[in-house]
Structure 1
Amino acid sequence: MRFLSRALGAALPALIAIALPLPAIAQTAPAAAQPDAPIKPNLAPDSQKPWLYQGSDLPPHPDWTFGVLPNGLRYAVRRNGVPPGQVSIRVRIDAGSLMESEDQRGYAHLIEHLSFRGSEYAGDMESKRIWQRLGVTFGSDTNASTTFTQTVYQLDLPSANDASLDESMHILAGMMEAPDLDQKALDAERPVVLAEQREQPSAQVRFGDASRELFFAGQPLADRSPIGTIKSLQAATPASVQAFHDRWYRPDRTVIVISGDMDPALFVQMIKKHFAGWQGKGPDPKTPDFGKPDPNEPVSANIVEPAFPPVVGLAYVRPWTVGDDTIIFNQKRMIDMVAVRIVNRRLERRARSGGSYITANVSLDDVSRSANVTTVSVLPVGDDWQKALHDVRAVIADARTNPPSQAEIDREVNEILAVMKNAVATSAGEAGARQADNMVDAVDIHETLTTSETSLKILEGAVAKKFFTPANVLASSKKVFDGVAVRAIVNTPKPDPQAPAELAAALKEDVSGAAGARASARKVGWDDLPSLGKPGTVTARKAVMTDPDIEQVTFANGVNLLMFPNTSEAGKVYVRVRFGHGYNALPGDRVTPAWSGDIALAASGIGDLTQDDIDRLTGDRQIGMDFGIDNDAFEFSATTTAADLADQLRLIAAKLARPGWDPNPVKRARAVTLASYDSLSASPNGVIARDLRGLLRDGDPRWATPPRKAVADLTPQAFRDFWAPILASGPVEVQVFGDADKRSIIDAVAKSFGALKPRAANDNLDPAPVRFPDHDATPVVRYHGGKDDQAAAVIAWPTGGGVEQISQSRKLELLAAIFRDRLLDQLRSEAGASYTPQVVNEWPVGLPSGGDVLAVGLVPPAKTDLFFRLARGIAADLAANPVSQDELDRAIKPLKQLVIRMSTGNIFWMDQTKGGSTDPRRIAAIDTLPTDIVQTTPAEIQALAAKYLRPDKDWSMIVLPKDEAPE
């Protein structure tokens, strides 16, 4: 049952992502289920149930219509108006890389590419152009993915009508039944697939591949990456690819899912019209046996990636079994979820307090219909992975041996209840694309999909049955941390022949009793937050926009509120607090600890409360706090509800008024950054992420990655000295947009930010200038430590910034879109030299300058000159010749539709109006947004290209393998 995201973590460990602190819950007993409204099982015979629910007693989702065509094709359709006018279509083929033979490796993915390239109903690359004319953005609205078990084609059709839906379904039918698989298409697209394979981040891919080979040894999953092998792809012929297609692309292995803002009956009509005549070729193939975990395979492995942290991946592997997706099955699985969450919380608490590991995380998942796996990812502090693994295993051993307290259990159950209740409250605002994706996921893992209300009742039923007891959770802990095999892999920066044996011995080490005493949690309440003073008074109110109805409220202490009460996203309220001056307030001539804020500032506590205390205070509420730096402001943000809005604002206001300075988050931020430092040199993408933005700002340390020494030297006191004055000074703008009424918003802001003492204004701010580097005759060269067939090429042209010429920035978006389309065609579709060439326009409204048009391509080292030749050729042609109206329309219509869809959500309006309380020009500029896009002419595009894409102003960069570095 797809009742909650199953993501208790990634199924397979790769480079350890920095685990965010788990939200906590007040230690109160979970609410009992309503005895008069229990979940009613569906006891009808399977013949009377929709196809997704056969074998299950879960009530079918009432908003979905299910059906099966005579040829065996299944479908699920529903109406959804989020965003208005959009129809989201998914076509799922039950064929992935696990269906491939040895000489067919990569074929499922290859056919995905070929199907999009052309078919019987749309010629070479013609479907892309047709959909662009319908307002579809290539690569986001149209996409596809191939996994181990399925291939899914995606289309999000904006402003759909009968004609555009009919044409789109016609194209999709041709892609499934009769794609172009001839020699010409194969020769054109095979290099693109090989480029995609080449561009994968090498260290992460190798670690992921090595983990899969170990964890699933003896099963096809171990060595069946969907990307395939160079050997099999190069050997592919039209006949061999056609044979794979004919075998697996069949209507009886196809599911069509549609969720959109039209009549579901029309969806069914279109499915029947375009897919009912499709017939499979040959006998129906049997899905191969994916095998079971073999306990006789090796238990440990070592991989050497010098630019990768010494990360440990641990797996408890069990057979994957298909059981009935029933109410009781899901209620028992919820006990497993609670058991895993308790261990994760204990691990996180130890990491926060300065343990032997930076982060450790447990996840539980069914993997590719091959195994049920509990994975544990551990990122040590420094190189001592043995100590880190020992300490993590000790926590797990404790969970397997000793029952948790009822308070621990109640905390987790309450958190899950809070999440599910919020899902019920916000279900009306769930996007159709997400609903379609959830349905496809449910089909893939052989489960069902139910409503948020049903999910909540299932959990409440488990609470009422007293499933969540210490004894039951202990039993689940023993189960999820056991398996047919227990395996572990470690990455070491240097070759270590003893590492596999040491790791195998570590798995057998007796760690019982080594976890020590469990930490006791002190009781906290909202009264423990620092006092803010008397509520502020309103000194001014004015409407800054009438459509939509956005109002500005000014308080006596100088705080400005921008509010937009609306019900477009039911149950959600977005909060953004902008204070100070962001990058404009930072020095441009020296390195600062600004880099540490994203990791450590929110986690450093409030007053005397640590982050653990705040977790307990807010865990059963929709309250959070994220931090970021914008060009002209520092920002705290959160998504909350009307009921939690007042306390959400109070929490952030208290952070500004009396921040805490717990040293442990600073130490953790330092360790995290140092652990990931070398990985930035492991691939061209990593080097670009590390160096490009600083280079494009002429070495300005505000945007450059800090030197390793600056990271290592950061102390808690230096952290405090830097951030304390920033939190205490500068103007405050509060944005509250969403499902709350004006009166409650104003009252909540008055009692929080309106109650703050007046802040120092920083009127003497003198921002450091933002500089673009001088034109270079030869590219700047950087080197990476990844594969020797990987390189990157970058070219950029300076533009501008600020609000005065914002209309020009919008037209530059169209110029960039046209440039991107041409570069995609020439570099990818024609030359096959790059899978993901990009062209982007950045125009910082919060800076007086610093904008650019940037083109980047990941290419083989020998093709960097080709990239520059093509990019400069496109730039010169755009400056010399007007584009055709059709080419311009294929840029205008997707951008127009993107703006229309985004404008139905609150984040769009927050981004457009931010800073508007002190700079009204930003809000005034919103009125010209539609005309700036739709009224752009070919002559304007040409003039912009001539103005900005000048050969004497461009700056370029290449990233080459380190073995090409001069001696």
Structure 2
Amino acid sequence: MNLNRKLSVAAITFIIASGSVFAQVKKKPVVSPKSKPVPVQLLVKGDPLPIDKDVIIGKLPNGLTYYIRQNAEPKNRAELYLVNKVGSVLENEDQQGLAHFTEHMAFNGTRDFPKNQMVDYLQKSGVKFGADLNAYTSFNETVYQLPLPTDSAQTFQNGFKILANWAGYLTFDPTEIDKERGVVLEEARLRGKNAQERLQQQVFPALLNNSRYATRIPIGKEDILKNFKPETIKSFYHDWYRPDLQAVIAVGDFDPKQVELLIKQNFSSLQNPAGEKPRVKYTVPPTPGTVVKIATDPEFPYTLAEIVVKHPATITRNTTDYLNDVRVQLFNQMLNARLGELLQKATPPFLFGRSTYAPFIGEQDAFTSIAVAKPGELEGAVKAVVAETERARKFGFTLTELERAKQDALVQMGNAYREKDKTPSVNFVNEYQQHFLSGEAIPGIDYEYNFYVSNIGKITLDQMNALASKFISDQNRVVIVEAPDKEKAKLPTESTLLQWISTAGQGLTAYVDNVSSEPLMSKLPEGTKVTNEVKDDALGTTTLTLGNGVKVICKPTQFRNDQIMITGYALGGTSLASDDDFTSANLAASIISGSGISKFNQGMLDKKLAGRNITVSPYISEFTQGISGNSSPADFETALQLVYLYFTDPRKDNDIWQSNINQTKSVLANRGLDPVSVYQDTVSAVLSNYNFRAMVTKPERLDAATLDKAYAFFKSRFADASGFTFTLVGNFNVEEIKPYLEHYLGALPSTNSKETYKNLDIHPAAGSITKIVNKGVAEKSTVQMVFSGAYDYNEANNLQMDALEEVLNIKLIERLREQESGVYAPGVRASYKKIPNGRYTITIFFGCAPENVDKLINATIEEIGKLKLNGALPLDIQKFAAEEARSTQQQMKENVFWAGFLASASQNNENPDDILKHVSNLEQITPQSTKEAATKYLNEKNLIKLILMPEKK
């Protein structure tokens, strides 16, 4: 149970009431927990934490551990995981990279699923390779994930056979090994052969104290991957894939007794090897004093410093551990809130700054401070980040900071508690995985919530103020600087760098917590009444029209207990800005959303909303402007107040403007060093036919932009709400929220201007175009092939386009990855739009060796030719239809899907009821329809090839 990780996945909901500081409608809807908290007192120091009563934990005679939990979300689905305490740290010298290679071979032949039969079988069951079916290898573990439907008994039962095949029955066919070598080498190329990898090679020996972790990077060594013998990888598998180091985790909508029987049937025959090797726990030995490492690379675009103070690892097993976890969470939150405030200054001292105490590696935790500097300003960045920790150490935190942090922590934990019957199965899997790998406690959400409510109030300011001194040390410390080669002459010496750190706390004063007790709104706006109401019983929606012309599409759901999603849009966007004013207009929404509202700057607003489950922010896109956000039912009125204030009283903050301009210029300064950035900038330019609006902003355009123009453009885009349509999705009753809608949305300004967007005709040029970018020192290429053209946007064509995308994706994985062994992860992305006019693009993308670019492009064209000639194979159509049906059925049980879908249908003037026929419409996909779609949309006469190649030597 990693507390910080657990809380980050939970959305926000539970609040501590902070008094009546808002003008409010009288009746307020509140969703109460189904059961009231039972106090959990910290009676005995170090009481062991209980194990969640809803999880079944067992162990087979051969040592294999299993975790089983029945969970209804998502319905008719299960998450099956095989977790192995096996990673790259266990490799012999001649096996470096083979832990990861073994993971690859699990999908290339097992006893019961030869060659690629496993992937084929699962795709036909609606499981998407890479997105659903996946695995990863780390230093200490290898984890396989298999999400499956449970309403198909045969498929579900076979899932356990698949896990057992991974656990003990890989075949390691020499032919398949040789084919996979190229794939793994391409993964290494895709993820590495860049500045980050080269810097890592310089830094890891110092950071990891020349431990085994520094020499066992999971991707391994290229010469070993190219040349190892099958016997070498078989030896690794034989030694380490064994039941006493394995766990099966099954969470989902199933009968736990049946699952336990399936585990016993499939895994009991696995045996541990005779004379098994001991599973050594490797560590990173502590380093006396401080180690400094300065590393540079010609292509690294930033200058940054990292200070890592390592401490012995703590595993949360008892109440003392857990309460300390809560303290650490509060400490991290308060310290980083202070660092965040520095970014709101007109001239922030850094581009990014953060300090966090968290788990590290090799039986260690670490207090890590990171400062990303503007060019030439490393000293100021380092001192600013270090100074905030020193300020906390010298003067401590304030009581108001601590109370806000406690409120926010309770919000997060309270949300997890309220949503406990809607928790996705994968959340439980992650907890049980950590329990197996490290022994971290899994007491369950009831215990954790009650523990929080009972004990967080006992955490004192003195306890919090003692943590900074505990975390800060000049022992077992590593200080790292990474920078571009061109900055090498300007970088500090080791002694200078340490002097910066040691003197950063000089002249500090205590932190002043700037808070306001004033209400967001002192007066309730009168608003306008609902003038029209239309129900759609098929979708369960109600569309309200208010007196000022605002439309509100309401869809009450029970998918989440404590969530209401809020979106609103109107047509216009930056398309209405002149070329001269575009840069100012394009910055407007980010500036306003960072400036606060009314008399509250953003820092004050964040503090005002502490302990409340609300996010609301304005946006302006190319063709629309609007609001996006969400809240709990209890905070819904406050969310609407924020919406009202962004329309009527946005704040203009010159410090935020200057900060954004300065930060953007600093990022642009070294952007040209990074090959990927240079390539992407070229892609943006070519695909927009060199229209500056779609390209990276140039410094001279930033210089010409002004805050006044940005503010005026924002005000103009939100001056008339009569063209706005809002969508509300979540746990509410339409009749109960009507008064809020009438008072707040009904009070938005309305001029009935009937504005719409302007078609600027920005799209890829017609014709056959090839653009090659020569950038980068590594032997690494990237390819994008972009087909584009006019498009008739409708449900039938959209379905055919989606099918073409997936079928082509299947074929290119088979050809470019499995047959050619030339790429790791080819991809196809089809996009189509109605606004401002009907257009489509189909982008094929992959990374590869430079010498293989032409061969793989030709192979891609060949596969496209087959589709044009014969259409898709029925098997590939079956795979697409199965996955599309499964994902659609799942998405229709999610608030986020409905919020986006209803807004999109409204914008495009579509009938939203069509979604109810989407699954049955999959029958329209045939070999002939895919043939016609390929011929129509994959026209080489409108093909742009964008290729990144290394610099010519």
Q: TM-score with structure 1 length normalisation?
A: 0.90
1:904 is matched by which residue type in structure 2?
K
1:797 is matched by which residue type in structure 2?
F
Look up the SS of the partner of 1:299 in the other structure: strand
Name the residue aligned to 1:120. Answer: 111
The answer (yes or no) to whether the contact 2:316–2:322 under 8 Å persists in 1 is no
The answer (yes or no) to whether the contact 1:217–1:297 under 8 Å persists in 2 is no
The answer (yes or no) to whether the contact 2:396–2:465 under 8 Å persists in 1 is yes
Look up the SS of the partner of 1:399 in the other structure: helix
Look up the SS of the partner of 1:512 in the other structure: coil
Name the residue aligned to 1:48. Answer: none
Shift of 1:95: 0.9
Name the residue aligned to 1:874. Answer: 863
Look up the SS of the partner of 1:834 in the other structure: coil
The answer (yes or no) to whether the contact 1:524–1:613 under 8 Å persists in 2 is no
The Cα offsets for residues 321-372 of structure 1, whole Å up to 9 and x where unpaired, read as 5x56101211022222222222211111122123312331112211234321
Shift of 1:39: 1.9
1:5 counterpart = 2:2: no
Shift of 1:562: 0.7
Shift of 1:631: 5.7
* Cα 1:683/1:119, change in 2 over 3 Å: farther
Name the residue aligned to 1:623. Answer: 614
The answer (yes or no) to whether the contact 1:790–1:961 under 8 Å persists in 2 is yes
Look up the SS of the partner of 2:753 in the other structure: coil
Name the residue aligned to 1:18. Answer: none
Matches of residues 601-616 of structure 1 in structure 2 within 5 Å? 601-616=592-607
Q: Distance in 1 between matches of 2:693 and 2:100?
A: 42
Shift of 1:40: 6.5
**RMSD between aligned alpha carbons?**
2.9
Name the residue aligned to 1:947. Answer: 936
Name the residue aligned to 1:183. Answer: 174
Shift of 1:24: 12
Aligned residues: 928
- Name which of 850, 862, 865 aligns with 2:839: 850
* Cα 1:42/1:864, change in 2 over 3 Å: farther
* Cα 1:601/1:8, change in 2 over 3 Å: same
* Cα 1:404/1:573, change in 2 over 3 Å: same
The answer (yes or no) to whether the contact 1:529–1:607 under 8 Å persists in 2 is no
1:406 is matched by which residue type in structure 2?
L
Look up the SS of the partner of 1:117 in the other structure: coil
Look up the SS of the partner of 1:258 in the other structure: strand
The answer (yes or no) to whether the contact 2:766–2:789 under 8 Å persists in 1 is no
Shift of 1:794: 1.2
Shift of 1:64: 1.3
Name the residue aligned to 2:753. Answer: 761
Look up the SS of the partner of 2:772 in the other structure: strand
Matches of residues 401-800 of structure 1 in structure 2 within 5 Å? 401-464=394-457, 466=458, 468-482=459-473, 484-493=475-484, 494-496=486-488, 499-502=492-495, 504-506=497-499, 509-525=502-518, 527-529=519-521, 533-543=525-535, 545-582=536-573, 584-585=575-576, 591-593=582-584, 595-596=586-587, 599-629=590-620, 632-677=623-668, 681=672, 685-687=676-678, 689-711=680-702, 713-729=704-720, 731-759=723-751, 761-763=753-755, 765-776=757-768, 778-785=769-776, 787-800=777-790
* Cα 1:427/1:37, change in 2 over 3 Å: closer
The Cα offsets for residues 3-51 of structure 1, whole Å up to 9 and x where unpaired, read as 4426889xxxxxxxxxxxxx9999899xxxx9993326899xxxxxxxx
Q: Distance in 2 between matches of 1:301 and 1:122?
A: 50
Shift of 1:249: 0.4
* Cα 1:871/1:36, change in 2 over 3 Å: closer
Shift of 1:447: 0.4
Q: Distance in 2 between matches of 1:315 and 1:588?
A: 47
Q: Distance in 2 between matches of 1:151 and 1:180?
A: 18
* Cα 1:627/1:320, change in 2 over 3 Å: same
* Cα 1:529/1:445, change in 2 over 3 Å: farther
Identify unmatched segments of 5+ residues in structure 1: 10-22, 44-54
Matches of residues 169-318 of structure 1 in structure 2 within 5 Å? 169-200=160-191, 202-288=194-280, 289-295=282-288, 298-318=291-311
The answer (yes or no) to whether the contact 2:574–2:582 under 8 Å persists in 1 is no
Q: Distance in 1 between matches of 2:802 and 2:215?
A: 42
The Cα offsets for residues 828-852 of structure 1, whole Å up to 9 and x where unpaired, read as 1222221111011101244422321
1:798 is matched by which residue type in structure 2?
S
1:337 counterpart = 2:329: yes
Look up the SS of the partner of 1:499 in the other structure: coil
Identify unmatched segments of 5+ residues in structure 2: 21-34
1:176 is matched by which residue type in structure 2?
A
Shift of 1:235: 3.3
The answer (yes or no) to whether the contact 2:3–2:326 under 8 Å persists in 1 is no
* Cα 1:757/1:722, change in 2 over 3 Å: closer
The Cα offsets for residues 786-805 of structure 1, whole Å up to 9 and x where unpaired, read as x4211111112125457x42
1:707 is matched by which residue type in structure 2?
K
Shift of 1:695: 2.6
The answer (yes or no) to whether the contact 1:214–1:301 under 8 Å persists in 2 is no
User: Is the deviation greater in 658-667 or in 889-898?
Assistant: 658-667
* Cα 1:496/1:103, change in 2 over 3 Å: same
* Cα 1:520/1:368, change in 2 over 3 Å: closer
* Cα 1:766/1:920, change in 2 over 3 Å: closer
2:85 is matched by which residue type in structure 1?
D
Look up the SS of the partner of 1:291 in the other structure: coil
Q: Distance in 1 between matches of 2:839 and 2:675?
A: 24
2:419 is matched by which residue type in structure 1?
T
Look up the SS of the partner of 2:209 in the other structure: coil
Q: Distance in 2 between matches of 1:104 and 1:772?
A: 48
The Cα offsets for residues 639-683 of structure 1, whole Å up to 9 and x where unpaired, read as 211111111121022112111111233233333433433675566
The Cα offsets for residues 542-587 of structure 1, whole Å up to 9 and x where unpaired, read as 02x3233011111011111011011112221111122343365456
The answer (yes or no) to whether the contact 1:300–1:504 under 8 Å persists in 2 is no
- Name which of 83, 91, 96 aligns with 1:105: 96
User: Is the deviation greater in 719-728 or in 135-144?
Assistant: 719-728
Look up the SS of the partner of 2:833 in the other structure: coil
Name the residue aligned to 2:38. Answer: 37
* Cα 1:587/1:779, change in 2 over 3 Å: farther
1:858 is matched by which residue type in structure 2?
G
Name the residue aligned to 1:80. Answer: 71
The answer (yes or no) to whether the contact 1:670–1:714 under 8 Å persists in 2 is no
User: Is the deviation greater in 528-537 or in 96-105?
Assistant: 528-537
The answer (yes or no) to whether the contact 1:91–1:256 under 8 Å persists in 2 is yes
Name the residue aligned to 1:892. Answer: 881
The answer (yes or no) to whether the contact 2:807–2:876 under 8 Å persists in 1 is yes
The answer (yes or no) to whether the contact 1:82–1:432 under 8 Å persists in 2 is yes
Name the residue aligned to 2:27. Answer: none
The Cα offsets for residues 907-964 of structure 1, whole Å up to 9 and x where unpaired, read as 2122221154565424254344223323311111111111111121222111122336
The Cα offsets for residues 232-288 of structure 1, whole Å up to 9 and x where unpaired, read as 322321111111111110111011111111112222122111111111223333232
Name the residue aligned to 1:831. Answer: 820
The answer (yes or no) to whether the contact 1:156–1:433 under 8 Å persists in 2 is no
1:37 is matched by which residue type in structure 2?
V
The Cα offsets for residues 403-458 of structure 1, whole Å up to 9 and x where unpaired, read as 22222211211111111111211222221123213322343343022322322222
* Cα 1:269/1:708, change in 2 over 3 Å: farther
* Cα 1:919/1:703, change in 2 over 3 Å: same
* Cα 1:688/1:910, change in 2 over 3 Å: farther
Name the residue aligned to 1:51. Answer: none
Shift of 1:499: 3.0
Shift of 1:83: 1.9
Q: Distance in 2 between matches of 1:774 and 1:136?
A: 37
* Cα 1:938/1:735, change in 2 over 3 Å: same
